[in-house]
Amino acid sequence: MKQHMPTTYYDDHAAHASPVSAAAEQVRQDAIELVDQGLRQRRALLAFQPVVQARMPGRAAFYEGLIRIMDPAGRIIPAADFIGAVETMELGRRIDALALEMGLATLAAEPSIRLSINMSARSIGYPGWLSTLENGLRRDPSIAERLILEITESSAIVMPDLVTAFMEEMQERGVCFAMDDFGAGYTAFRYLKDFYFDIVKIDGDFIRGISHNPDNQVLTQALVSIARHFDMFTVAESVETAEDARLLVDMGVDCLQGYYFGAPQTKAPWTRAQHEKVHSG
């Protein structure tokens, strides 16, 4: 006979869980309010992380521009405190629009680089984001060939028809597209033949410590094979050791990204690289 927990168990459990849940919710709401204020006052900047060529790790194929939003004291608000909550909110679209605006300005100021900017597929239908993109490309159409838009796998599969139509239009103008967190959602495989992403970024959960994880080695090799079949360029995310990097090069990954090659930094790394090149020449 099935045993039922006494009512007092649920009452006690709820009493203990409720303050914790309320505190967590308050932290989330406070972070969202800080982000909203930060966007209104444009307390934001981009941090740049290099994505290096696998067989020429001293050379960046492109940089990823990651938005950082700050509180009134100038401290960066941890993305983990708000990013999940704003994905489906207008606030998330505003974050995407500001990141794109700053990315386009960076590309206009530095014609020697390629830059990727993150976005949710939901932003494709947001007028503010679209007008930011159109205005930037209208001012300098050559920027399109150096712009990479990174769309998370999870958001792309929510609205595949919208994504594919938008990608086709923009690719004709020279814009590249990267699928971020490739492999994390698993359900996207059936859409790959329709999406035509130029780049896939293999999710870091497969990459961290891969040299000591035979299961992830098999899974990553499979993801690389799938990408190669669809003529997609591969990037391994979250590369943190030389041993992992060597293994990924042997697997045939095209590019590597992670703290082993450089942490995101708000000072443009290409200016330092150019300075070092001048002084070593």
* Confidence at residue 16, expressed as pLDDT on a 0 to 100 scale: 53
pLDDT digits (tens, 9 = 90+) for 101-155: 999 999 999 999 999 999 999 999 999 999 999 999 999 999 999 999 999 888 8
pLDDT digits (tens, 9 = 90+) for 25-79: 888 888 899 999 999 999 999 999 999 999 999 999 999 999 999 999 999 988 8
* Confidence at residue 17, expressed as pLDDT on a 0 to 100 scale: 57
The answer to whether 102 and 67 have CB atoms below 8 angstroms apart is: yes
* Confidence at residue 22, expressed as pLDDT on a 0 to 100 scale: 85
Cα–Cα distance list, 116 to 74, 149, 178 (Å): 25, 6, 8
The pTM score is 0.88
The answer to whether 151 and 119 have CB atoms below 8 angstroms apart is: yes
pLDDT digits (tens, 9 = 90+) for 148-186: 999 988 888 888 899 999 999 999 999 999 999 998 865
Asked whether the predicted pLDDT for residue 230 surpasses 60, the reply is: yes
The answer to whether 229 and 197 have CB atoms below 8 angstroms apart is: no
d(CA 43, CA 64): 20
Calculate the average pLDDT of the chain: 88
Q: Which residues pair with 76 in a beta bridge?
A: 70
d(CA 113, CA 117): 13
In order of their start, the domains of the chain are: 7-280 (3.20.20.450)
Rg (CA), the chain: 21
Residue 2, Cα to own-chain centre: how many angstroms?
A: 48
